[in-house]
Amino acid sequence: MQHDWLGLRARDGDYGWYIPKAQSAWPSDYGLWLAILHYLASNLKIFCPHPRAFIEKRLQQEGRWACADVEMALFAYASQFV
């Protein structure tokens, strides 16, 4: 299933994926993307599996999802289908 929630398109460049700035949806859709990540992070019912060292150094709160955690998880999942 695919939804067109965002008008942004990413490209796979020589150094990895990136979002070209020359798009009409930039930066407004990026703000929408952050809102989507925040919504998901706030509503996930499972604990985020942070490395123990992150918790001990207080870089992350145990079990709590941050937007970056959700984005990394989505990227890892989507990468299986590329």
Q: Domain coordinates of the chain in residue numbers?
A: 11-79
Confidence of residue 82 (pLDDT cuts 50, 70, 90): low
Q: Mind listing the pLDDT tens digit for each residue in 32-76?
A: 999 999 999 999 998 888 888 988 999 888 888 999 899 989 888
- For residue 82, CA distances in Å to 3, 13, 45, 55, 78 come to 17, 14, 27, 32, 7
The pair of structure tokens assigned to 25 is 């949806």
Residue whose token pair is 């998880």: 73
- 70/30 Cα distance (integer angstroms): 15
pLDDT (0 to 100) of residue 50: 83
CA angle, residues 53, 55, 58, in degrees to nearest 5: 110
Q: Mind listing the pLDDT tens digit for each residue in 4-18?
A: 788 888 888 888 888
Q: Mind listing the pLDDT tens digit for each residue in 18-29?
A: 888 788 887 888
pLDDT (0 to 100) of residue 37: 95
